[in-house]
């Protein structure tokens, strides 16, 4: 994992960030909470994958639910909050899209989408009776799980600490408001609750709901 230094970040003209942040780090806390949910599912998926590699048999319904979780919770709910809100705020404070870490993180989002699409196509073939697609599907699932785990570690080690470092108190307030607006939409649509419940079902852990 490359170490983050100012010289490698593509920070062209760093502007002074206000130091009084008022503890307004809700955006990062929300993303970290979502990472914990994703990593729970990754652990469950690895368990299922190890079993499938041993037997060369796919539990089709379970794999479909895993792919569903990653495609919607991770690709559609989580990644846009990073790209459209958090990374964009960091970019406005001087972090280049063309340098580490933003370039790598955005590229990995795309890579993960491509691998998931490929896995979905392979699952369709398996469901249609094409046994030859089983090893490829297992391989793609393994690639995806490695990728998502490395990606989350890179975000938490390289990108999230920069939020505190580069954003002003006003930036953080605006970011929190934007996250709250998205959370409201997710709440209204019920997507977050649905996929959090699905994560607990997939991992066999009890869902904890706020009182």
Contact 132, 36 (CB under 8 A): no
Nearest distance from C-beta of residue 74 to Fe ion, angstroms: 8
Q: Which is nearer to Fe ion, 10 or 125 (CB)?
A: 10
Nearest distance from C-beta of residue 182 to Fe ion, angstroms: 14
Nearest distance from C-beta of residue 180 to Fe ion, angstroms: 18
Closest CA to 106 of 10, 5, 183: 10
Q: Name the residues that contact Fe ion, by CB under 5 A.
A: 82, 155
Q: Which is nearer to Fe ion, 121 or 157 (CB)?
A: 157
Task: Catalogue the long-range contacts made by 196-199 (C-beta closer than 8 Å, 24 or more residues apart).
Answer: 196/37, 196/73, 198/65, 198/68, 198/69, 198/73, 199/37, 199/38, 199/40, 199/41, 199/69, 199/73
Nearest distance from C-beta of residue 81 to Fe ion, angstroms: 8
Q: Which is nearer to Fe ion, 35 or 93 (CB)?
A: 35
Contact 202, 63 (CB under 8 A): no
Q: Which is nearer to Fe ion, 46 or 113 (CB)?
A: 113
């Amino acid at each position: 994992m490359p170490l983050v230094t100012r010289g490698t970040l593509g920070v062209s003209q760093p502007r002074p960030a206000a130091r009084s942040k008022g503890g307004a780090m809700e955006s990062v806390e929300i993303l970290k909470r979502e990472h914990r949910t994703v990593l729970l599912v990754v652990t469950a998926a690895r368990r299922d994958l190890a079993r499938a590699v041993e037997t060369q048999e796919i539990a089709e319904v379970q794999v479909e639910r895993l792919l569903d979780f990653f495609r919607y919770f991770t690709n559609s709910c989580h990644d846009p909050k990073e790209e459209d809100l958090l990374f964009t705020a960091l970019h406005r404070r001087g972090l280049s899209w063309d340098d580490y870490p933003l370039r790598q993180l955005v590229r990995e989002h795309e890579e993960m989408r491509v691998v998931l699409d490929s896995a979905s196509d392979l699952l369709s073939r398996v469901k249609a009776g094409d046994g030859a697609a089983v090893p490829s599907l297992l391989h793609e699932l393994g690639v995806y799980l490695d990728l998502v785990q490395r990606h989350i570690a890179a975000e938490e080690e390289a990108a999230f600490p920069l939020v505190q470092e580069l954003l002003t108190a006003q930036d953080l307030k605006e970011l929190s408001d934007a996250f709250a607006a998205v959370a409201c939409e997710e709440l209204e649509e019920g997507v977050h609750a649905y996929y959090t419940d699905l994560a607990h079902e997939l991992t066999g852990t009890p869902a904890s709901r706020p009182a």
